[in-house]
A and B are shown apart, each in its own frame.
Chain A
């Protein structure tokens, strides 16, 4: 069974640029959630996708957007990058959206904005 994978591992961008991060969910999982983890902080919820539709969103501006594909993989897009967007971006997949469904995390993408 393949776990959650993310690409790329590291990324360096400059302010104002756009970035796309990718996530492949664990086999059998139809739900993907994205989190931002700033240095020294706990992860913060960005949004969740279930069956290709956004199923909930945290307190992030619209320049953070996402997609989920028919194979349940997902993308996180960030436009007009700001210095504060520098963080570890974590993707998590789960077998459903139920409260008790465990979210399994990928290794993350480290984004640095200069």
Chain B
């Protein structure tokens, strides 16, 4: 079965330090990968996606993610964290075939806390 794992429930980072939020996936074939951010009592905001091509993807608000096929990972990174980055981050995978092509499969989320 297809699945997404975010192994850390929470990541704590000091402002100005680099941050990494981890994501691994288990699907057959080549998936499409996404990162979303959710602020309290809000919907999900799209950050970036990997479809094909360069393994390093750049997205909104200075975030980037690296696709690693051999490790089946898609970790989210940012060189210098801001307090305003504190939120809940979701990794998602889409399998572009089968009977439910619209299906985004989400991880459980990682809470990022950036301290001043």
> Which A residues are closer than 8 A to B by beta carbons?
4, 6, 31, 33, 35, 40-45, 47-48, 50, 55-58, 90, 92, 94, 97-100, 102-108, 110
Contacts and interface: CB of A to CB of B under 8 A. Distances in A.
Interface bracket on B: 20 to 34
6 contacts: A43-B90, A43-B106, A45-B102, A45-B104, A48-B100, A100-B32
7 closest cross-chain pairs (CB), A and B: A99-B96, A48-B102, A42-B106, A56-B100, A105-B43, A105-B44, A100-B51
A42 B43 contact: no
B71 interface: no
Given A42-B90, A42-B109, A99-B94, A55 B43 contact: no
Interface of A, helix, strand, loop or mixed by DSSP: strand
Interface string B89-116: 0101011100111111111110000000
Given A55-B101, A105-B36, A98 B106 contact: no
A97 B46 CA distance: 17
A86 to B, nearest CB: 15
A31 B102 CA distance: 9
Interface string B32-56: 1010100001111110010100000
